[in-house]
Structure 1
Amino acid sequence: MAELNSDGGGGGKKGGKVRSKKQSTRVDMTPMVDLMFLLITFFMLTTTLAKPQAMDLAMPDKDDKNKDEQLDVADTRTMTVLLGSKNKIEWFVGLADNPISAPTVEDYGKNGIRKAIIEKSKDIKASTGKDMIVIIKPSDKSNYKNLVDILDEMKITNIKQYAIVDINTPEIELLKRDGVY
């Protein structure tokens, strides 16, 4: 609480100028400190901490004896997604030198690659009766955010089979041709 001290002020001598007594104020900060600690503990206990978000990703074993063994998959049910520069994606169905659908440059998001994945997945499911397999090939010009974004798209579109593979020379030439590399 605040208190007023009335000691000390005017002159103690007789005669001379008459001065009014000056009163000094002193504010007791103890209740303010108590209130501060109560507020800090209240906000610490009532706020929720941000939980880290992580995606489960199945990776092959390091000591797998069948490393060189490749799985043959029909070209008609594989969609290859090439991650280029400037947040652009180029995709096609089939092989790079003989694609079934023409290579198309898209953006990320629901009107870009997500729409293409959903449409092609439905087409492949209707024609072959099997699920589509997506092959993701990041280029040297793509960044880590692009890879995370395409993995998010795989989760959103419910693609069960996808793989991250190294990009090869014909696909880099395809990206250069379309100005995405």
Structure 2
Amino acid sequence: MENDQFIFYYAGHGFFDSGYNKITTWDTHPYNLKDTTVSLNHVLMEPLRKSNCNKSLIFIDACASKIDEQLLSRDFIVDMNPSEFIEFVRSSNYRAMFLSCSRGEKSYGSSILGHGIWTHFLLKALKGEASEAIEQERFITSASLQNYLSKAVPDFIKLNTNIRGNQRPWAEVSI
């Protein structure tokens, strides 16, 4: 229906292959990624484009790390391609996509937090526990959420971990 809202969250491994961004599933095998992963375009974005639902919010906490480490040839795995996401988001007036990291970066987890770092701060914001993500003491907007995640995630990594890599959350919003 036109007034329906669709919210999708995924945490796991993701990469770009054969022209599409793909995510792993419960039975993904590192030596047969082509047949044991799913295309986000085929299972998520294209069905949403074809539906009457024009309000969607997508959260993806994924990177190609750990998959490429298991393979004999790393040339097969590359990071997700943001152009596919940008095209999808811009195809409607009310779509937003939030990713845990920018292209070429890893999405880090934390045993202290018990989650991926980005997921931890995303959940904190959505629960209303992060005043920095709330505008007018009442609303979380796409800009306030992205600004909060863009500061909270790198700050946590810098101050509370030994990680030396960057993790800069990325978002595309069409509203």
- Scaled by the length of structure 2, the TM-score of the pair is 0.29
Larger CA Rg, structure 1 vs 2:
1
Bigger RCO of structures 1 and 2 (CA < 8 A, at least 6 apart): 2
- Scaled by the length of structure 1, the TM-score of the pair is 0.28
Q: Would you tell me which structure has more strand in proportion to its own residues?
A: 2
